[in-house]
Amino acid sequence: MTESSSDFILLNPRDNVATARRTLKNGSNMTLSGESIKLLRTIPGGHKVALSSLSVGQELIKYGQNIGFAKADIEAGEWVHTHNVELKEVGRDYGFCEDFKQLEPIEDKGDAFSGFARAKGRAGTRNYIAVISSVNCSATVSRYVADHFRTNDFTREFSNVDGVVAFTHKGGCSYDPNHGHELLQRVIAGMARHPNIGGYLLVGLGCEVNQIPALVDAHQLDQLEEGEQAPSFLTIQQTGGVRKTVESAIKAVKEMLPNVNAQKRTPQPVSKLTLAMNCGGSDSNSGVSANPALGLASDELVRRGAASVFGETTEIYGAEHLLTRRAASREVGEKLISQIRWWEEHTKMFGSTIDNNPSPGNKDGGLTTIFEKSLGAVAKAGQAPLAAVYDYAEQITTKGLCFMDTPGNDPVSMTGLVSGGCNVGVFTTGRGSVYGCKPSPCIKVATNSPLYNWMEEDMDINAGTILDGNETVEQVGARIYEKIISVASGEKTKSELAGMGDEEFAPWMLGPTL
């Protein structure tokens, strides 16, 4: 339940804080739930005000859930933020599967998008050729190859190819193979076999830890399905240096181009979409407008047999119990909790904590604690049951709502989701993230109208109309769903039009650099 006035939003009848729609001056009077409260401090837009007097140690409630504790006495009408709020350990009732409820499926076979048919019954929303580095030492060579094809002549001659993109990174050598090696290989293999990749080649140096032959063997990259484009594997040392490798790689791409360009868009069922959901540069409006609307769009995809996947394990902390209660099985719920426990131990190794969040920008936008941030982030998961939980960059094979263990860092999180097979993404932002991620198009949703109007060249959808009172959450959710289908069918996102997505490939790097 959401109750609104012209100035504040109350998200749940249990809440003892409300969120300001805009900056309100000290001494102003607010009316909410039939009561008038005088503001004792200026309340910045997106920030919280106390609806009643709170004693030291008393729970602060938003979304009907605990978001922290008062670390000083707080009077009604007082600004509630980091200066008077603290976190304490809170017990969670995981209630595995107790709230499990399937969504009513939609069997309309006419609901489709225009995509590229791929092997194993998959479908692509884009048609790229990838030049993938096995190690940072081959990154520049990979970039030279991709740059060769950034011409208008290429675009005209191969109109069905979205481009040649270099996937480069900072790893691949000087690390213990027992830490992060398998994960990096999983990312690279996932990109090589991504449904949005029509053909690829791997480029290495030759002496790195992440040897191409071992990578190919571990993930059977040399075993092709009928109709798949044969890849090329090159190393700089064996080919004879930078110039010769660049020339050989360009030749290999040119040989692939006719077959990749021959791929054409055809009607594909919506069930072949795998959506990546992420939020970055969040503000307090994220959990009120954009994320709930995205949750409705996610549910629409799930009802049509598609997969919808979200991640950022460090940003569901404090809200994980809402997911375990709707897990499809106890095993699914317990895997999610095991990932939370891993993060608790992992952060301890570096003298940090999993709740060492939100970021400065999040706090400026009104988010006070990780619990508050997480409750808003989980809103993008909609109402679908949690069907599966995946490790980072693990291949997504389950339909329905899924979770993937990723850091909260946006490029690293989205790299894992895309490597897992997500062929389209939606990214919500309240502060103005300009993220794009090849090879999957990324739709950006602004949480508030001032941001959308200020950065319209970068934002695809304005969910601030919910806060403005011009649209409902359901109406914006329907617009997001329609945009997903349109973008999957070839419409360019704002980040694509700006040329974003080459530098955002960022595999999660674990372990020491030796």
The tens-digit pLDDT sequence of the chain (514 residues) is: 455 567 888 889 999 999 988 899 999 988 877 788 899 999 999 999 999 999 999 999 999 999 999 999 999 999 999 999 999 888 889 999 999 999 999 976 678 999 999 999 999 999 999 999 999 999 999 999 999 999 888 989 999 999 999 999 999 999 888 878 999 999 999 999 999 999 999 999 999 999 999 999 999 999 998 888 999 999 999 999 999 999 999 999 999 999 999 999 999 999 999 999 999 999 889 999 999 999 999 999 999 999 999 999 999 999 999 999 999 999 999 999 999 999 999 999 998 888 777 888 889 989 999 998 999 999 999 999 999 999 999 999 999 999 999 999 999 999 999 999 999 999 999 999 999 999 999 999 999 999 999 999 999 999 999 999 899 999 999 999 999 999 999 999 999 999 999 999 999 998 888 8
Q: Classify strands 163-167 and 232-235 as parallel, antiparallel or unpaired.
A: unpaired
Q: What is the pLDDT of residue 2?
A: 57
Q: Which residues pair with 388 in a beta bridge?
A: 402
Three-class SS state of 13 = coil
Alpha-carbon distance of 170 to 510, in angstroms, equals 12
Return the half-sphere exposure (C-beta side, CA atoms, 13 A cut-off) of residue 107: 0
Q: Give the CA distances from residue 208 to residues 147, 172, 275, 483, 506, in Å, rounded to whole numbers and listed in that order.
A: 24, 7, 34, 43, 19
Contact yes or no for 393/420 (Cβ under 8 A): yes
Q: Give CA 141 to chain center in angstroms.
A: 29
Q: Tell me the backbone φ, ψ of residue 39, rounded to 5 degrees.
A: -75, 125
Residues 6+ apart with CB under 8 A from 259: 198, 199, 229
Please tell me the predicted confidence (pLDDT) of residue 3: 54
Please state, as a whole number, how many other Cβ atoms lie within 10 Å of the Cβ of residue 144: 19
Q: What is the CA radius of gyration of the chain?
A: 24
Per residue, what are the HEC states of 209-221?
A: CCCHHHHHHHCCC
The predicted model scores a pTM of: 0.94
Distance, CA of 435 to CA of 282 (rounded, Å): 13
- The CA-to-CA distance between both ends of the chain, in Å, stands at 53
Helix (H, G, I), strand (E, B) or coil at 120: helix
Rounded to whole angstroms, the Cα distance separating 169 from 139 reads 7
DSSP H stretches of helix in 116-218: 139-148, 152-157, 181-192, 212-218
Structure token digits, residue 513? 């650099």
Would you call the peptide bond into 512 cis, given omega within 30 degrees of 0 as the criterion?
A: no
Q: What is the pLDDT of residue 483?
A: 98
Give the model's pLDDT for residue 129. Answer: 98
Residue 476's Cβ-side half-sphere holds a number of Cα atoms within 13 Å equal to 29
Which structure tokens are listed for 387? 């069907």
158, two tokens: 């191969």
C-alpha span between 155 and 478 (Å, rounded): 33
